[in-house]
Structure 1
Amino acid sequence: MNDEDKTRILLVDDHPMMRGGMRALLAMEDDLLPAAEAGTGAEALRLACELELDLILLDMNMPGMDGLETIRQLRAAGVEARIVIFSVSDDHANVLAALREGADGYLLKDMEPEELISQIRLAALGKLALSPELTRVLAEAIRERPKPGHGVPMASLTKRERDVLRLIAKGQTNKMIARKLDISEGTVKVHVKNLLHKLGLRSRVEAAVWVLEHERIRN
């Protein structure tokens, strides 16, 4: 497989040994490419804006700009690469905060290598990557969220918002949605903001899970 066809990954961790281990692990896979490394959130932001990346594997606890702030900065800068937190911490608040800020997954560093690679591939395909023991955290958070009035959420969405929501659930980025629906990326962002507000959701990940677990979106 040519490098152009591989999933290009940025490794972000303040520990050189961890980056080295992950680089070696990824390099063993035919379809994954450790394209660059960063030791700080600021360096990750610079590289993500300069390079064509598919996925960013990001440590949560780094000095200076931590994982949450790095996610905020990356999304604010328009970086659309998938972002997966890779952390030793299974703190529930951290997991939920990362997903709400725009992360596409949360994996723990004590995962078996085979499972880690499998989850990275899922993330690259637009799926939610989550360590098995953390799925309950997300499910409980969604169940505990105050539910809107019966019958109101879907009825309040326009057809275009439903189209966007279906594509979010398939893991499509704003750019991909814009191309699919033949509208501008700015218009997609407005639709996303509006539908999240109407459904009482806080992130694209929650929207995707909501579609998959609670509703069948119809035209």
Structure 2
Amino acid sequence: MITVLLVDDQRLVRAGLRMLIEDTTDITVAGEAADGVEAVRRYAELTPDLVIMDLRMPGLDGVAATRQILAAAPHAKVLVLTTFDDDEHLFPALAAGAAGYFVKDTEPTVLLDAIRRTVDGDLLFSPTLLRRLVTRALESHPTETPTPAPEFTARELDVLRLVAEGHGNQAIAEHLHLGVSTVKTHIANLLEKTDTENRIRLAIYASRM
């Protein structure tokens, strides 16, 4: 069972997330916090598998709370869930050690999938943010080229193109008329074949191809 700490200064948001999570069979809410100070304290008490962290909160904000949690527990996993999708909020959160970044209009199924995959060690972002990170990486290192491409199946190439466009697993499944579990298998195979450690690196690889 995956345990989650919900951190948001809006009680209604926390209640909505709790309802969503408690409708699953493999994720449970270990506790809640209404600000960054409480988040740091509750994490130390509960040591959940994942923290869902808002950014704009009174007192200690989400970036500072993320930094403090990871300073005390380097293996902690923090998934940012915020209304802000601009670079001013994205990059400080990543620098603080966030393992993923999603905006609050994310589809519920996508968020639940992100919780599971973040706990498994993946780095995950909303599609628009992923595209922005890939664009920044390509602009920063425009001359880099991928190593000689391994042998991909036709379906793997289809998936790879959609990864390059920033689509998540659910969207890829809908585009290609596949099951989400099949898409996950293709992604795992692509990560292995391209020797990339996460979705961001795979998207950059695919874009350079």
Q: Smaller-chain TM-score range? A: 0.5 to 0.7
In 2, Cα distance between equivalents of 1:94 and 1:79 = 21
1:71 is aligned to: 66
Distance 1:83 1:138, change over 3 A: same
CA displacement 1:117-170 (0-9 Å, x = unmatched): 1122221211112111111111122223368999xxxxxxxxxxxxxxxxxxxx
Query: Is 1:106–1:131's contact at 8 Å kept on the other side of the alignment?
Result: yes
Distance 1:44 1:126, change over 3 A: same
Distance 1:22 1:110, change over 3 A: same
Q: Indicate the SS of the match to 1:68.
A: helix
Task: Pick the aligned partner of 1:86 from 78, 81, 88.
Answer: 81
TM-score under structure 2 length normalisation: 0.67
Gaps of 5+ in 1: 1-5, 151-206, 215-219
2:135 is aligned to: 140
1:121 aligns with 2:116: yes
Distance 1:92 1:11, change over 3 A: same
1:102 is aligned to: 97
2:54 is aligned to: 59
In 2, Cα distance between equivalents of 1:210 and 1:149 = 16
Query: Is 1:96–1:138's contact at 8 Å kept on the other side of the alignment?
Result: no
Q: Which amino acid aligns with 1:39?
A: A
Give the 5 Å matches for 1:116-195: 116-145=111-140
Distance 1:9 1:210, change over 3 A: closer
2:160 is aligned to: none
1:189 is aligned to: none
Measured after TM superposition, the shift of residue 26 of structure 1 is 0.2
In 1, Cα distance between equivalents of 2:107 and 2:199 = 25
Q: Which amino acid aligns with 1:132?
A: P
1:26 aligns with 2:25: no
1:172 is aligned to: none
C-alpha RMSD of the superposition:
2.5
Please list every run of at least 4 consecutive aligned residues from structure 1 whose deviation after the TM superposition is greater than 4 angstroms: 146-150, 207-214
In 2, Cα distance between equivalents of 1:118 and 1:143 = 27
In 1, Cα distance between equivalents of 2:110 and 2:75 = 24
1:187 is aligned to: none
2:181 is aligned to: none
Gaps of 5+ in 2: 146-196
TM-score under structure 1 length normalisation: 0.64
In 2, Cα distance between equivalents of 1:27 and 1:139 = 34
In 1, Cα distance between equivalents of 2:41 and 2:70 = 13
Measured after TM superposition, the shift of residue 210 of structure 1 is 7.6
**Identical pairs, percent:** 37
In 1, Cα distance between equivalents of 2:63 and 2:76 = 16
Measured after TM superposition, the shift of residue 19 of structure 1 is 0.4
Query: Is 1:120–1:129's contact at 8 Å kept on the other side of the alignment?
Result: no
Q: Which amino acid aligns with 1:57?
A: I
Q: Which amino acid aligns with 1:78?
A: A
